[in-house]
Structure 1
Amino acid sequence: MPFRLHIRTTSYSASGLLQLDPATLTLPHEQEAAGFARQWLQGEEQFTVQTSGSTGAPKPIALSRVHMQASARLTLEALGLDSGDPALLCMNPAYIGGKMMVVRAIEGALPLYLLPPSANPFPELLALGVQPLFTALVPLQLQAILADAQSLRLLQDMKAVIIGGAPVSPALEEALQQVKAPLYSTYGMTETVSHIALRRLNGPQRQEYFVALPQIGLETDERGCLRISGPVTPKPVQTNDVVELLDSRRFRWLGRADNIINSGGIKVQAERVEAETQRCLASLGLSRRLLAGPLPDEQLGQKVALLLEGDRLESSVEKGLLRCLSNALPPYWAPKQILYVARLVESANGKIMRHASWQQL
């Protein structure tokens, strides 16, 4: 089955896209997706993609067609997707996650349905009478889908769903056990042409670690940070991601080296504090977006603090949370203070911007 791009009630074949002027489309995400698909179908060999800015200043990165094709092929094979399987693009097509959905659809001959990025795009699918078998979501979209019975039914019948853009919280991961469709957390970045490893989140095949796609090489440097090689990149990519490398294909992601808090000589990984905080909040019947980070301290140099989104917790709840964290975390890792902001700062594609969020204080 040949590739087709479905935009609202109009379906474009490859030849139709080549003749289409994307500027005639109404919405920015339609123009972006159709414009990129047109460039790909015209055979362009290099594409400039902007990083999200979630781990540093946004910057343009040049990616080659051959590496993007290799990434798409590896994902299609790993997920068992077949020609004709309908796919859904409901994230920002200006960034690598959205662009690679277009590449996978073209290279795999998947009909691609385009919807505007929103908290829950599935009601529009219901109106169109479409059941996609493959999509990519961010955790916030997944939470909204789980809360809507009709949307959840669409999710249940999918063949594969990949989830990226932010870590999946422990509470959300537990909620995903009601879903029978295979759900995968992704690990990757713009420099590696989206994900290079997957972690099954639900069902009997649920995993606690990421598994690299075939042909992807994994190593660590002296800091314990992951180095990636393979057909998706012209040279090895050295990351700042601290991992526990289990073998040549499996690893546990621990956090970023630049998010380590040095508290009195004790190195505290912010992401582990965040994950344990989510678990403790869930045990108290609560769910919040949050960050862990350092605050200046005269004795320790830095002390561990939490930044919670939303209203201040009641004093008794705060005490219960801190007590839970003292029991759950290694000695001297527990936060010393909880701070609040109305909303954490997000990038254009919905990723939490750590530095900018703390700067609100």
Structure 2
Amino acid sequence: MPAWLDQRARLTPERTAVISGMERRTFAELAEEARSIAAKLAGLGIEKGDRVAFLMQNGVHTVTLIHGVTRLGAVLVPLNTRLAPREIAWQVEDCGAKVLVYDQVHREKAEAARTGTPDSGVNMIFWQQLLQQREMGIELPARVSLQDLHTIMYTSGTTGRPKGVMLTWGNHWWSATASALNLGLDPHERWLAAVPLFHMSGLSILIRSVIYGMTAVVHTRFDPVEANRAIREEGVMIVSVVGTMLTRMLDELGEEGYPDSFRGMLLGGGPAPKPLLERCAEKGVPVFQTYGMTETASQIATLAPEYSLEKLGSAGKPLFPAELKIVKEGQEAPAWQTGEIVVKGPNVTQGYWQREEATREAIRGGWLYTGDLGYLDADGFLYVMDRRKDLIISGGENVYPAEVEAVLLAHPSVADAGVTGIPDSTWGQVPVGFVSIKDGADFHENELLSHCRERLARYKVPIRIHPVKELPKNASNKLLRRELARWASQGEWARR
């Protein structure tokens, strides 16, 4: 295919590509800046296929770097800015990055990571220094191959070392086109990226921006006030969110509503609490619940707009080029039976960077075994239950943390909730809950336990509920249940 950004600049050069604060670029301007960055990287010895990592906050400079790296044909390696320096050093070394680009905000962390990679050969370069670098007079590739590697994005690493998910240009292409087939396109669309650009949900917005010819509105960090203002005053029509982001936006919105031009919230990051979805329905806020992961280059199933109320709580059906099934005990499960979610499609990764065993374990017969639990209803709509690793088995019964969390979140005093399992000599495991309380409300454990007993089977009710200031989240605001398990086992909740 023609090089994506250059092709978009030829088709709609004056259309706005990106807005971030007071900065904005047309597609023609962005393409020219990306070509300049590509030439500067070439001056540092970067060639097609080389890995280029970055440690940068959201902004036009990060958008420019992302497009500059890929314009050269190098492989993008986004680094989670919340990682510790040692974790950054390990990922840089694992992928064999030749260059790590960092900005002023993350200068100290990058310098600390440098000491952890003394022999890796990585060239760590400050963004402002890169801008002053001499451009090499090279002819950039006019076309891209959909089979070529585009991104290596590391998973969060719930157990052991994180794995580098390999994503091709084709994976990203099919992800973007499949999403458009489901959600439709508006030529004046503006999509808010208040999620990190180093995360798949953020990166996918930039890729869609170029393919669709739409404007990406990039916020430095998530702020519910600014996110709502972007919808009401700046013409944002779609926002990618996780549950906690959506809750905070609704709280800030109060009695007000969104304009008719707002198309909806693209909700990912795990099963959404039903009370939150019901609250959106009452306020007339369109929500498209999705299911996806890094390995699927963003969403692979999304609830179509016409089913947003009829199938409340569902992540929808697989997108047009994808397939999805539920596997239980090695067999495809019938409707309503919970099992492992297994997916297939051209947007699905071919494997993990230099992890042949992990690749063979995850991808079998062309199907990706996700490790997530869910079921299909009689109409083929997917309902995601939980991560298989987060499942609590108590007395032989399955307890899904997300189900218990949804009940806790339905209590008027609870702002956020998390549930994990702890060992028990009688039942094997029992659930324990953690909650943060809304401003002005009081914590009463017995009241919350009674609330749960009225709505859950006895074995699902937490044996204890602990108050905490805030729950452990990753950079995408996803709940880190492995941290909850550590808090529970070490009694750390009392210090939170």
| Aligned equivalent of 1:238 | 369
Percent identity, aligned pairs only, is 21
Matches within 5 A, 1:144-293: 144-149=248-253, 153-154=257-258, 156-199=260-303, 204-205=309-310, 207-211=312-316, 212-223=318-329, 224-233=339-348, 234=350, 235-246=366-377, 249-279=380-410, 281=411, 285-293=412-420
Runs of 4+ in 1 over 4 A off after TM superposition: 40-44, 53-57, 149-156, 200-206
Which residue identity does 1:207 align to in structure 2?
L
Match of 1:327 in 2: 454
Q: Does 1:36 align with 2:49?
A: no
Amino acid at match of 1:293: T
Measure how far apart 1:354 and its partner are: 1.0
Question: Greater shift after overlay, 181-190 or 142-151?
Answer: 142-151
Tell me, yes or no, if the aligned pair for 1:54 and 1:347 is still in contact at 8 Å: no
Answer yes or no: is the 8 Å Cα contact 1:51–1:95 preserved in 2: no
Residues in 1 aligned to 2:184 and 2:170: alpha-carbon distance in whole angstroms: 21
Q: Of residues 117, 122, 125 in structure 1, which corresponds to 2:227? A: 122
* C-alpha distance after superposition, 1:3-57 (max 9, x if no partner): 522233333233422332679xxx7312332222334455664211232446875
State the alpha-carbon separation in 1 of the partners of residues 293 and 464 from structure 2: 32
Please say if residues 162 and 185 of structure 1, whose CA atoms lie closer than 8 Å, have aligned partners that are also in contact. Answer: yes
How far apart, in 2, do the equivalents of 1:82 and 1:43 lie?
30
What is the CA distance between 1:123 and its match in structure 2?
Answer: 6.0
Structure 1 residues 146 and 342, CA gap change in structure 2 (3 angstroms): closer
1:206 is displaced (CA, Å) by: 5.1
Q: CA deviation at 1:314?
A: 6.3
The alignment of Structure 1 onto Structure 2 pairs a total of residues equal to 351
Two-structure CA RMSD over aligned residues (Å): 3.1
Specify the alignment match of 1:7 in structure 2.
20
Can you list the C-alpha shifts for 1:299-337, whole angstroms capped at 9, x where unaligned? 2232222122359x968x422322232232234222222
> Is the contact between residue 291 and residue 354 of structure 1 (CA under 8 Å) also seen in structure 2?
yes
Q: Secondary structure at the match of 2:221?
A: coil
Q: CA deviation at 1:68?
A: 0.6
SS in 2 for 1:142: helix
Q: Report the counterpart of residue 356 of structure 1 in structure 2.
A: 483
For residue 470 of structure 2, give the secondary structure of its aligned residue in structure 1. Answer: coil
The answer to which of 35-44 and 239-248 deviates more is 35-44
Q: Which runs of 5+ in 2 are unaligned?
A: 1-11, 41-55, 75-147, 330-338, 351-365
Q: Classify 1:219/1:36 alpha carbon distance in 2 versus 1 (closer, same or farther; 3 Å).
A: same
For 2:184 and 2:277, locate their aligned partners in 1 and report how far apart those are by CA, in whole Å: 23
Change (3 A) 1:59 1:260: same
Match of 2:235 among 131, 147, 156: 131
Sort the Cα spacing of 1:122 and 1:150 in 2 relative to 1 into closer, same or farther, 3 A: farther
What amino acid is aligned across from residue 246 of structure 1 in structure 2? D
Q: Are 1:19 and 2:32 counterparts? A: yes
In structure 2, what residue type is equivalent to 1:29? N
Tell whether the 8 Å contact from 2:392 to 2:401 is kept in structure 1 after alignment. Answer: yes
2:433 touches 2:462 (CA, 8 Å); kept in 1? yes
- Do the aligned residues in 2 keep the contact of 1:72 with 1:107 (CA within 8 Å)? yes
In 2, Cα distance between equivalents of 1:244 and 1:89: 30
Q: Which amino acid aligns with 1:33?
A: V
Q: 1:85 aligns with which of 177, 180, 189?
A: 189
TM-score, normalised via structure 1 length? 0.85
Provide the C-alpha distance between the structure 2 equivalents of 1:196 and 1:359, rounded to a whole number of angstroms. Answer: 31
2:237 and 2:71 mapped to 1: Cα distance? 23
Could you state the TM-score of these two structures normalised by the residue count of structure 2? Answer: 0.63
Deviation at 1:203, TM superposition (A): 6.3
**Equivalent of 1:72 in 162, 176, 180:** 176
CA distance, structure 2, for counterparts of residue 159 and residue 56 of structure 1: 40
Partner of 2:95: none
Q: Distance in 2 between matches of 1:144 and 1:115?
A: 16
Change (3 A) 1:41 1:178: farther
Q: Is the 2:281–2:309 Cα contact (8 Å) retained in structure 1?
A: no
